[in-house]
């Protein structure tokens, strides 16, 4: 009896999910093996990470503060992937959302009940505005959004550095390279964890429902998987592309607003902490499913929090970057492997 490999057009959902789990497990095992080879005890380190992260309310609160921006950025990238677009600029949109929200808080006086909604709307609009040029270039000129969104990240990062060390520098002199503390902040609902977290979770659930149960969501999914067929069926693919990409930027911008007004409390260079880039991994591991980003953002937050703990054991931040790279590498391999199945050849074939 003989067998051969058969490649399927798409992987079965159950097989694809299993491949995702296997990619994470293999990455962790590989990292553990490397640590063992350099003389460390991976099981003991893992125990310390789990105890520090999940063994106290302080660890859980830190985990939640990392989870929140990762979820916003992961959702931003995942939404764009639904229409077949790659938003590599969530980092810049996150920074612009923080910049715009801080500007409202610092220079537009008003009561807290009015300022917070204004900051949220302004942050979301800033994120959408930052992706507008790449969106129109993709929609009307066929310019790849991979390059345009990526390049705008550096502009946004430098803009935030400039205002926080120059025109908006804290006039009191108590803080270096940051603005003054914002006079308004997102309320806390558990310890130091603010309401940006439940808003992000609600947003993920709402997006999942929209993509699964509305005509617009159906047309977006079809437009992303087969644009030619969608156009033939009379679906406005270009209009959906523009709407989805602007929504993607708005979500990242809202995440920036929540970070500056909820977690950090002031605008400073590096406020994004690479959340936009890590959001790409969150979305890819979740296969662009909004509900899936909740799980993958939680996983990435745990790894980042573990990296902080591992630094106290003599490891560097490069260890965490290497681990996230391993996960993405194994996920890419698993994606391709999930499309194959072993079939038994008929007798005499």
Taking only the tens place, the pLDDT of each residue in 282-299 is 998 898 999 999 999 998
User: Which tokens go with 172?
Assistant: 């009191």
Residue 333: band (very low, low, confident or very high) from pLDDT cuts 50, 70, 90: confident
Q: Is 302 exposed, middle or buried (0-12, 13-18, 19+ CB in 10 A)?
A: middle
Full-model pTM: 0.91
> Residue 330: its pLDDT value, please?
85
Residue 315: band (very low, low, confident or very high) from pLDDT cuts 50, 70, 90: confident
Asked if residues 92 and 156 have their Cβ atoms less than 8 Å apart, the reply is yes
**What pLDDT digit, counting tens, does each position of 33-90 carry?**
888 887 888 888 888 888 888 888 888 999 999 999 999 999 999 999 999 999 999 9
> Residue 121: its pLDDT value, please?
97
Residue 346: band (very low, low, confident or very high) from pLDDT cuts 50, 70, 90: low
**What pLDDT digit, counting tens, does each position of 132-146 carry?**
999 999 999 999 999
Classify the C-alpha dihedral 137-139-142-145 as positive or negative.
Answer: positive
Asked if residues 53 and 301 have their Cβ atoms less than 8 Å apart, the reply is no
> Residue 154: its pLDDT value, please?
96
Q: Is the pLDDT of residue 92 over 70?
A: yes
> Residue 53: its pLDDT value, please?
85
> Residue 50: its pLDDT value, please?
86
Q: In the chain, pLDDT over 70 holds for what percent of residues?
A: 98
- Whole-angstrom distance, CA of residue 264 vs CA of residue 180: 11
Three-state DSSP class for residue 104: helix
Three-state DSSP class for residue 12: coil
Asked if residues 305 and 69 have their Cβ atoms less than 8 Å apart, the reply is no
Q: What average pLDDT does the chain have?
A: 90
What are the start and end residues of each CATH 1.10.3470 domain in the chain?
A: 58-312
Q: Which residues pair with 194 in a beta bridge?
A: 188
> Residue 49: its pLDDT value, please?
83
Across the range 310-320, mean pLDDT stands at 74
Q: Report the Cα–Cα distance between both ends of the chain, in Å, rounded.
A: 10
Considering the domain 58-312, what is its CATH architecture? Orthogonal Bundle (1.10)
Higher pLDDT, 2 or 208: 208
């Amino acid at each position: 009896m003989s067998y051969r490999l058969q490649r399927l057009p798409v992987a079965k959902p159950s097989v694809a999910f299993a491949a995702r789990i296997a990619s994470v497990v293999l990455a962790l095992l590989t990292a553990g093996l490397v640590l063992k080879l350099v003389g460390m005890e991976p099981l003991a380190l893992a125990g310390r990470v789990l105890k520090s992260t999940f063994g106290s309310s302080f660890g859980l609160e830190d985990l939640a503060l990392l989870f929140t921006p990762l979820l916003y950025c992961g959702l931003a990238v995942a939404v764009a992937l639904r229409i077949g677009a790659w938003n590599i600029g969530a980092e810049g949109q996150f920074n612009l959302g923080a910049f715009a929200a801080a500007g409202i808080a610092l220079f537009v006086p008003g009561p807290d009940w009015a300022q917070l909604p204004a900051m949220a709307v302004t942050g979301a609009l800033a994120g959408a505005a930052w992706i507008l040029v790449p969106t129109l270039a993709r929609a009307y000129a066929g310019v790849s959004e991979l390059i345009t969104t990526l390049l705008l990240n550096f502009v946004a990062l430098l803009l935030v550095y400039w205002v926080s060390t120059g025109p908006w520098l804290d006039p009191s002199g108590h803080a270096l390279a940051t603005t003054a503390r914002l006079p308004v902040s997102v309320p806390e609902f558990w310890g130091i964890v603010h309401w940006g977290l439940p808003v992000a979770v609600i947003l993920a659930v709402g997006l999942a429902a929209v993509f699964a149960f509305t005509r617009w969501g159906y047309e977006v999914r079809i437009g992303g998987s087969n644009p030619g067929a969608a156009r033939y069926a009379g679906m406005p693919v270009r209009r959906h592309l523009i709407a989805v990409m602007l929504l993607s930027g708005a979500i990242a911008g809202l995440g920036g607003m929540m970070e500056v007004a909820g977690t950090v409390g002031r605008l400073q260079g590096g406020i994004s902490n690479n959340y936009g880039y890590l959001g790409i991994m969150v979305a890819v591991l979740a296969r662009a499913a909004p509900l899936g980003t909740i799980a993958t953002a939680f996983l990435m937050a745990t790894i980042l929090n573990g990296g902080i703990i591992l630094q106290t054991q003599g490891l560097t931040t490069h260890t965490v970057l290497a681990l996230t790279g391993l996960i993405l590498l194994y996920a890419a391999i698993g994606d391709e492997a999930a499309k194959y199945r072993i079939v038994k050849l008929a007798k005499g074939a």
